[in-house]
Amino acid sequence: MAVTALRAMIDTDLDPLFAMMRDPESMRMAAFVGRDPDNRELFEAHLSRLRANPEVTYRVITQDGAVAGMISSWVTDGETEITYWVDRAFWGQGIASAALTLFLQVVRSRPIHARAAADNRGSLRVLEKAGFKQVNTEISYAEGRHAEIEEAVLILS
């Protein structure tokens, strides 16, 4: 049986994380991505800031020891938000759901907010299974699609 786990990020995680976050199909599905996903310096500088920020909880998702993605939370204007990314090679295996369940045991503050492209049914299902409820939609610019799209806003109380 496959084992999903979370752990702190280590420097050797940078290569697989950078690669998975540059996958065109993953970027299209996630929609809300960095402006220059091919810029390794920007990627590393961003992760360095996250790792140094005490208001950010950042974990690497592993599947049987292999890097399968990332999950993190941060505080903006007093509100905790969460995001995750699973390598496309691991989609459809329940890894995002398992990782989110584990992460919500680490990050106990509530309410916790999440956002997803409104047409990203897989991600919305993961959030809903964890108890998140959609409370709003917004139109936001999605760099991964180079267009404004509908974004679902969800909260876990």
Please report the pLDDT score of residue 100 as a whole number: 98
Which ranges of the chain have pLDDT less than 70?
Answer: none
**Residues 105 and 59: beta-carbon distance below 8 Å:** no
CA angle 91, 68, 136 (to 5 degrees): 60
Please report the pLDDT score of residue 31 as a whole number: 85
Tell whether omega for the bond before 111 is within 30 degrees of 0, i.e. cis.
Answer: yes
Whether this prediction's pTM lies above 0.75 is answered by yes
Pairing state of beta strands 79-86 and 112-117?
A: parallel
DSSP strand E in the chain: where? 4-8, 57-63, 66-76, 79-86, 112-117, 133-142, 147-156
Please report the pLDDT score of residue 38 as a whole number: 86
Backbone φ/ψ region at 94: left (φ over 0), alpha (ψ -120 to 50), beta = left
Please report the pLDDT score of residue 35 as a whole number: 78
Please report the pLDDT score of residue 152 as a whole number: 97
**CA dist., res. 152 & res. 9, Å (int):** 28
Quick check: helix, strand or coil at residue 42? helix
